[in-house]
Amino acid sequence: MNTIVQIMNNYDFDEKKFELLRKIGNDSNSNQRKLAMSLGFSLGKLNYCLIELKKKGLIKFNNFYNRKNKIDYARYILTPKGIKYRTALTLKFMKKKMEEYDELKKEINK
Protein backbone atom coordinates (compact mmCIF):
# COMPACT_ATOMS: atom_id res chain seq x y z
CA MET A 1 0.00 0.00 0.00
CA ASN A 2 1.18 3.52 -0.77
CA THR A 3 2.85 5.27 2.21
CA ILE A 4 0.64 8.35 1.88
CA VAL A 5 -2.50 6.20 1.84
CA GLN A 6 -1.26 4.38 4.97
CA ILE A 7 -0.69 7.70 6.73
CA MET A 8 -4.14 8.92 5.68
CA ASN A 9 -5.74 5.77 7.08
CA ASN A 10 -3.76 5.80 10.34
CA TYR A 11 -4.20 9.42 11.41
CA ASP A 12 -7.22 11.56 12.05
CA PHE A 13 -7.13 14.94 10.39
CA ASP A 14 -5.94 17.59 12.83
CA GLU A 15 -6.34 21.05 11.36
CA LYS A 16 -3.91 22.74 13.78
CA LYS A 17 -1.21 20.12 13.19
CA PHE A 18 -1.78 20.49 9.46
CA GLU A 19 -1.46 24.29 9.71
CA LEU A 20 1.74 24.02 11.76
CA LEU A 21 3.34 21.63 9.28
CA ARG A 22 2.19 23.81 6.39
CA LYS A 23 3.68 26.95 7.95
CA ILE A 24 6.97 25.20 8.70
CA GLY A 25 7.10 23.86 5.15
CA ASN A 26 6.39 27.27 3.65
CA ASP A 27 8.69 29.34 5.86
CA SER A 28 11.61 27.59 7.54
CA ASN A 29 12.71 30.96 8.97
CA SER A 30 9.75 31.18 11.35
CA ASN A 31 10.70 31.13 14.98
CA GLN A 32 8.49 29.99 17.85
CA ARG A 33 7.12 33.42 18.57
CA LYS A 34 6.03 33.99 14.93
CA LEU A 35 4.55 30.50 14.64
CA ALA A 36 2.67 30.80 17.92
CA MET A 37 1.19 34.16 16.97
CA SER A 38 0.13 33.03 13.49
CA LEU A 39 -1.54 29.88 14.84
CA GLY A 40 -3.09 31.45 17.92
CA PHE A 41 -1.07 29.16 20.22
CA SER A 42 0.65 30.04 23.46
CA LEU A 43 4.42 29.58 23.35
CA GLY A 44 4.06 26.64 25.74
CA LYS A 45 1.51 24.89 23.53
CA LEU A 46 3.61 25.48 20.42
CA ASN A 47 6.75 24.24 22.14
CA TYR A 48 4.93 21.07 23.20
CA CYS A 49 3.66 20.50 19.62
CA LEU A 50 7.11 21.08 18.11
CA ILE A 51 8.73 18.61 20.50
CA GLU A 52 6.07 16.00 19.68
CA LEU A 53 6.53 16.53 15.94
CA LYS A 54 10.29 16.18 16.41
CA LYS A 55 9.85 12.94 18.40
CA LYS A 56 7.74 11.56 15.53
CA GLY A 57 10.51 12.50 13.09
CA LEU A 58 8.31 14.96 11.17
CA ILE A 59 10.47 18.05 11.75
CA LYS A 60 13.98 18.89 12.83
CA PHE A 61 15.43 21.96 14.47
CA ASN A 62 18.09 23.78 12.51
CA ASN A 63 20.29 26.92 12.50
CA PHE A 64 20.86 27.82 16.13
CA TYR A 65 22.26 31.30 16.59
CA ASN A 66 24.59 32.53 19.31
CA ARG A 67 21.87 33.47 21.77
CA LYS A 68 21.25 32.52 25.38
CA ASN A 69 17.71 31.34 24.64
CA LYS A 70 18.57 29.05 21.73
CA ILE A 71 15.14 27.45 21.35
CA ASP A 72 13.59 30.85 20.64
CA TYR A 73 15.96 31.24 17.69
CA ALA A 74 15.67 27.70 16.34
CA ARG A 75 14.44 27.27 12.82
CA TYR A 76 12.29 24.32 11.85
CA ILE A 77 12.33 22.23 8.70
CA LEU A 78 10.22 19.32 7.58
CA THR A 79 11.90 15.94 7.29
CA PRO A 80 11.08 13.68 4.33
CA LYS A 81 8.70 11.83 6.67
CA GLY A 82 7.16 15.18 7.62
CA ILE A 83 6.63 16.05 3.97
CA LYS A 84 4.82 12.74 3.38
CA TYR A 85 2.73 13.29 6.48
CA ARG A 86 1.82 16.83 5.44
CA THR A 87 0.88 15.56 1.98
CA ALA A 88 -1.37 12.92 3.53
CA LEU A 89 -3.01 15.54 5.75
CA THR A 90 -3.50 17.79 2.72
CA LEU A 91 -5.25 15.00 0.84
CA LYS A 92 -7.41 14.21 3.87
CA PHE A 93 -8.26 17.91 4.22
CA MET A 94 -9.25 18.15 0.55
CA LYS A 95 -11.34 14.98 0.80
CA LYS A 96 -13.15 16.41 3.84
CA LYS A 97 -13.81 19.72 2.06
CA MET A 98 -15.12 17.97 -1.06
CA GLU A 99 -17.50 15.91 1.09
CA GLU A 100 -18.70 19.10 2.81
CA TYR A 101 -19.23 20.72 -0.61
CA ASP A 102 -21.23 17.73 -1.84
CA GLU A 103 -23.42 17.82 1.29
CA LEU A 104 -24.05 21.56 0.88
CA LYS A 105 -24.88 21.07 -2.78
CA LYS A 106 -27.42 18.37 -1.89
CA GLU A 107 -29.06 20.66 0.68
CA ILE A 108 -29.27 23.52 -1.80
CA ASN A 109 -30.82 21.28 -4.47
CA LYS A 110 -33.57 20.11 -2.07
The domains of the chain are located at 15-109
Q: What string of pLDDT tens digits covers the 110 residues of the chain?
A: 455 445 445 555 577 778 888 888 887 677 788 888 888 888 888 888 888 888 888 888 865 555 555 555 567 788 888 888 888 877 887 888 888 889 888 888 88
**What predicted TM-score, i.e. pTM, was given to this entire model?**
0.62
Confirm if 31 and 108 have CB atoms less than 8 A apart. no
Residue 84 CB neighbour total at 10 angstroms? 17
CATH architecture of 15-109: Orthogonal Bundle (1.10)
